[in-house]
Chains A and B, each alone.
Chain A
Amino acid sequence: MRFSLSPSSPASSPSLFPTARRRPAVPAALLCGVLLVSGCSSAASSSGSGQGGGEPVSGGELTFALASAPTCADPQQAGTNDTIYPARQLVDSLTDQDPETGEIVPWLAESWEVNEDATVYTFTLREGVTFSDGAPVDAEALRRNLDGIQELGPRAPLALSYLTGYQSTEVLDELTAEVTFERPNAQFLQATSTPALGLLSPATLEDDPADRCVTVVGSGPFTLEEYRLNSFVRQVRREDYAWGSSLWDEPEGPARLDRLTFEVIPESGVRTGGLSSQQVDAIGGVAPQDEATLEASGLTLERRANPGLPFSLFPQLERPIPADPRVRQAVSLAIDRQEVVDTVLSESYRPATSSLASTTDLYADQSDLLAHDPAAAEALLEEAGWEEGPDGIRERDGQPLHLDIVWGANFGPNQPSLELIQQQLREVGIDVTLRTVTIAEYNAVREEGDYDYAWSNTTRTDPDILRAAFSAELANLSRVDDPDLEALLNEQNASVDPEVRGPLVERLQRELLEKGYLVPVFELTTVLGLDGDVHDLDFEASSRLQFHDTWRG
């Protein structure tokens, strides 16, 4: 059971506490200095297809500023989006996913077959691909990679989740491998397109996990030159690269940029200023309030909504007040999503229109269930016995209608968004306390269950994120006890056929809203700032970045 407060957001400004600048007794002052500085790092997630602008040219360098430090250079051990961006460039995946259509297309795997109940996957790899240390990318390498993820365990949280129920990989011939799961696992196909399942050289797999964070060898368009914790990641292109994803402009050729450098600039104002003053060429994590300034100074903004779960309120269904479905409906009806986007965010953001963000596979518009109707909310609360009290807060049997909302600062605009939601709920007579916790505390608070609603989001392209989030056996973010829902969640993971899966996922999205198991508010959006001469910086389907086609000029 795992909850995550995704430090995966653009524009999260690390909070800098003024350090305790008083000095009482000797080591206490220091200790406080150290312990007080709990900032919130954040990763930017992004996506962005570049503008045109003439003929692409080869050569040149690009420096990209990340909002938080990559924790590791190894894509299989990557967690935050800011870790994934650089790591992504080092590896190829079995498949790629079209960000427009969601279609899974060939990359390292020329073709694949999935059996009826999504338990057996057979991949045929393309010929002639090598890792940058010369080792061949073959069926044996695939087997060792998938087996290796089991050994990494929780160090590879994403990859491990994608391989839930993994049984074995069998090498059928040099280029064909068969991956078997104990139970249906339809999401695995999309997962093969993610960097978490990118293939690494067998030599790298032999290394200690910690060493792999510093030196890692893949078959990707860039190779790692130097990784320095909290500072930079330097990569150079691989000249003989010729096996790109079928989605790219020139899959048969090397990357266009000679060198790619990722710098870490935690302060959002410094990132923006660094871009404007051309100290860096591109930045992630553009804060909503900086967007207008950047555009006014002639810089390019690229944006794409992150797939997965929108920023939402998740009820704690074991608590008495949110346990009442009428209260949950009232909460959703009382929230004016458009106002949140207009007031606190920017034009880059979209109000939520379903349980899934609009860029998620098999997303279905449910905006009819997410209308703003305070009158209907009040009627529902009346019906549930919550009468208007003297100070405007509703009461029942002398108890005030009070909700405790817990949230973490993984995304800059969380606080103003929630403060606005607090006001909106107050208007229908619900009293809200906002409780902020650090990323470190968040898991513990959620495990404890001592709150009414929790605020978070999650990035994932496959709709199976609903099962990961709501299944009683998995994270169960809302503490749902609902066998019908459980059955539906498992059913959608049992077929890779969109014809079969589509209607199931649509029903799920609808049911979750009707039952009030989550109250989605807005879609996290990755916003990048680019210098005018940066082109074709592409968003993957997960709104993460691919630099193969990127060029300057």
Chain B
Amino acid sequence: MGRYVARRLLQAVLVLWAAYTLSFAVLYLLPGDPVEIMAAGGGEVTEVTEEQLDAVRAEYGLDAPLAEQYLDRLGAALTGDLGTSVQTGERVSAMVAEQLPATLQLTCAGGALALLLGSAVALAGAHTRRPWLRQLLLSLPSVGASAPTFWVGLLLIQLVSFRWGLLPAIGDQGWRSLVLPALTLALPTSAVLAQVFAKSLRDALREPYVETALAKGASRARVTLRHAARNASLPAFTVFGVLVGNLLAGSVVVETVFSRTGVGRITATSVTVQDIPVVQGLVMLGAVAFVLANLLVDLVYPLLDPRVTTGGAVAR
């Protein structure tokens, strides 16, 4: 178990380092210069000299050789210093800290809703005896997974907010403004969850212990919920990490469509203006969330199913 944990931790660190390096490479390979973009201002042709630009580049350390920049930034990042935004001059860590609560609220609500929706659809699909209903329920996830998030969001806004006036379409004040964005965010995620869960439920219901339970007189509902669902939820648990990634990526679109603040919004704006320190900070945030989620899965899984650690060792 000790070695298993150590290996997982090491992998997590490697993934973080790879994410940092890859994002650094991609951002620096892009054409364009964040300082020029800042100096281009708004709608006017401006007269800023090359010397004035160089001064700002030097201030941000953007004039040093690439390798040096990479090492400097990596070193600083290790101590928790993610640099300052080229556009606003604000510290990246402060920016992220300020925006994170709103995104956490949204992704947690979206995640909970996705869990609820996804398992409800899968359970109902497994439980029903009407073939047409089962077919309908089990094809819902494919629809949910393929509907573009921004389209779903706009549709909900049009109907629920603009036409019926039930909920606000804009902003992030109060729980009422959270309903539509959380639902929009939950739909594609719940679809993934429902697909995985439905499949493992189907497999579990074919297991001999199900027949035994039925033969002993347990009701179908009891067998589905207590026996099969418990075993079938294990595979679904493994996609937890993927879902966290999904929710974070989805927040970029959802926050923009619903005019909410949050990490997703600053991602969209800072990518547009190539604000390298901010984008890198966000990539790291995403990577950390992803790694933590997967680490959690890896560490909890053996507790749920002891075969995992030993099996893993053998498979190598």
Contacts and interface: CB of A to CB of B under 8 A. Distances in A.
A153 B52 contact: yes
Contacts of B42: 4, 6-8, 43, 78-81, 83-84, 158, 459
A299 interface: no
Contacts of A228: 261
B50 interface: yes
Nearest to A438: B272
Interface string B27-63: 0001111111111111111111010110110000000
B167 to A, nearest CB: 10
A443 B162 contact: no
Contacts, number: 296
A37 B40 contact: no
A444 to B, nearest CB: 4
Given A16-B150, A21-B145, A230-B269, A4 B261 contact: no
Contacts of B38: 79, 154-155, 157
Contacts of A37: 252-253, 267-268, 271
Contacts of B46: 2, 4, 157-158, 160-161, 468, 475
A26 B241 contact: yes
Contacts of A448: 31
Contacts of A41: 269, 272
B257 to A, nearest CB: 6
Nearest to A160: B48
B256 A277 contact: no
B126 to A, nearest CB: 25
Nearest to A278: B165
A487 interface: no
Contacts of A72: 88
Q: Which of A43, A157, A444, A457 has the most CB of B within 10 A?
A: A157
Interface stretch (B68-76, B114-122, B207-215, B283-291): B283-291
A279 B148 CA distance: 25
Contact of A157 (B39, B50, B252): B39
Nearest to B16: A27
Interface residues of A, number: 94
7 contacts: A4-B46, A27-B287, A33-B286, A157-B38, A161-B48, A230-B262, A444-B33
Contacts of A291: none
A210 B84 contact: yes
Interface stretch (B105-113, B133-141, B153-161, B223-231): B153-161
Interface string B239-261: 00110011011101100111101
Interface of A: 1-9, 14, 16, 18-21, 23, 26-31, 33-35, 37-41, 43, 45, 65, 68-69, 71-72, 78-81, 83-84, 153-155, 157-158, 160-161, 164, 208-210, 213, 228-231, 263-267, 269-270, 273-274, 276-277, 279-280, 306, 308-309, 438-445, 448, 457-460, 465, 468-469, 474-475, 477
Contacts of A460: 43-45
A459 B161 contact: no
Given A6-B43, A210-B88, A273-B162, A18 B148 contact: yes
Taking chain B's interface residues, is the majority helix, strand, or loop, or is none over half, making it mixed? helix
Contacts of B245: 23, 26, 29-30, 33
Contact of B272 (A30, A33, A276, A440): A440
A69 B261 CA distance: 10
A263 B262 CA distance: 14
B78 interface: no
Interface stretch (B2-10, B168-176, B193-201, B301-309): B168-176
Contact of A443 (B33, B95, B279): B33
B190 interface: no
Interface of B: 15, 18-19, 22-23, 26, 30-48, 50, 52-53, 55-56, 84, 87-90, 95, 98-99, 145, 148-150, 154, 157-158, 161-162, 165, 168-172, 188, 241-242, 245-246, 248-250, 252-253, 256-259, 261-262, 265-269, 271-274, 279, 282-283, 286-287, 290-291, 294
Given A18-B150, A273-B157, A475 B257 contact: no
Contacts of B35: 154
Given A280-B170, A444-B32, A474 B45 contact: yes
In order of increasing CB-CB distance, the 9 nearest A-B pairs are A8-B43, A210-B89, A79-B41, A33-B249, A6-B43, A157-B41, A4-B40, A459-B43, A80-B42
B55 A153 contact: yes
B164 to A, nearest CB: 10
A213 B272 contact: no
A254 B188 CA distance: 51
A157 to B, nearest CB: 4
Contact of B45 (A16, A83, A469): A469
A27 B290 contact: yes
Contacts of B53: 154
Contacts of A78: 42
A324 B170 CA distance: 52
A266 B40 CA distance: 21
